[in-house]
Amino acid sequence: MSKSVSIIVPTYREAGNIPTLVQRIEGALAPTGRKFDLWLMDDSPDGDKTPVVVADLNKQWVHLIKRSGTRGLGHAVVEGLERSKGDIQVVMDADLSHPPEKVPELIAAAEADDCDFAIGSRYAPGGTIAGNWSLLRHLNSRAATLVARPFTRARDPMSGFFALKRELLTRAPAALNPIGYKIGLEILVKCGCKRIREVPIHFEDRQVGTSKMGLKQQLQYVRQVRALARFKFGELARFAEFGLVGTSGTAMNLIAVTAAHSIGLSVRGSIAVAILVSMSTNYLLNRAITFRDMVRNGSARPMWKEYLWFVAVSSVGAAVNWWVASALAQRWENVPFGLQEGTLVGVLAGLAFNYAGSRLLVFGK
């Protein structure tokens, strides 16, 4: 007996696309003899024509869910996955950019024993994209895919067109956190999907309605990637954030020392001001980014005490850096680039000390 299929489609003001979407899904799946249904997870505001359009279709297998909880594409998909009952679950967009005719092939890939997750892929061999994409849109898509590379080797992990066995979601050791619009990437990482099949598709531009993509969605993706890095790599991801903040502190130091000297401060005075500025920006950024979760869980000290502790830890870290670099540079005096190598190890030692001190003494209770 063939497995049943549920298709989850998040919608927001997509009334103009729904009749064609339903017609094409039915045309693709009815000949297969499978039992299938469609779940339209609708976030459209009151007054939108979607309920009227769905009622006029009069299809018993089409379910419209007017959502009242947290809005957003990712949340809509997760709720659809929880509500639907199909053995195979397919997620796709409502704007007809994903070809419904490819759904049977995607289902066949997903139900194979050696597959965890099937993707309707723009970048697999044979996949194509509508020719009117701008260069900027191509670069944006490729950049987002590159950012996802530490999590998966899939060619198109950003695709919103995918299929999975219903039981896959029970493998996730932590709840799905759909803060971003790329819920497929969330499932790939949280469920530990290793066996991935990519079905080539032609990605078409929407013909009706307007795109919902904007700066807000891009920022949500950044937040999602950060959260997934914390999930997959744990403390190493937090340490990497700490290092990036430190790098930004170097830039602030250079800007501050230049500005201070340009207004007449002495060299030593300018350096002192630059050190204070970079320490301050490092503290604020680490408080807002690297250790934000710990601060929210209840920082043990007022900010001014926390700041002083951060300055103290950073000062000791600078001493550790100097001591390690000096000792190794002297020991490697006759080694090619010994001074540079010793300096690099010193920087890493100081960074590790600063991180441990900040983690345990400054932002930790």
Mean pLDDT value across residues 16-40? 95
pLDDT surpassing 80 at residue 310: yes
Confidence bin at 323 (pLDDT 50/70/90): confident
Query: Residue 300's pLDDT is what?
Result: 59
Q: Is 17 exposed, middle or buried (0-12, 13-18, 19+ CB in 10 A)?
A: buried
- Lookup: tokens for 361: 């003494």
In percent, the amount of the chain with pLDDT more than 70 equals 95
Condensed to tens digits (0 to 9), the pLDDT of residues 295-307 reads: 777 655 788 888 8
Query: Residue 210's pLDDT is what?
Result: 60
The per-residue DSSP string of 89-124 comes to EEE--SSS-S-GGGHHHHHHHHTSTT-SEEEEESSS
125-131's contacts with Cβ under 8 Å and 24+ in sequence apart are 125/200, 126/200, 127/156, 127/198, 127/200, 127/201, 127/202, 127/203, 128/200, 128/201, 128/202, 128/203, 129/202, 129/203, 130/202, 130/203, 130/204, 130/205
pLDDT surpassing 70 at residue 156: yes
Confidence bin at 212 (pLDDT 50/70/90): low
Condensed to tens digits (0 to 9), the pLDDT of residues 174-201 reads: 778 777 668 899 999 998 899 999 999 9
Domains of the chain, residue spans: 5-233, 235-362
Q: Which residues of 60-96 are buried (b: 16+ CB within 10 A; e: fewer)?
A: eebbbbebeeeebbbbbbbbbbeebebbbbbbbbbbb
Mean pLDDT value across residues 224-241? 89
- Its pTM stands at 0.80
Question: What CATH code is assigned to 5-233?
Answer: 3.90.550.10
Condensed to tens digits (0 to 9), the pLDDT of residues 66-107 reads: 988 778 888 899 999 999 999 999 999 999 999 999 999 999
Confidence bin at 211 (pLDDT 50/70/90): low
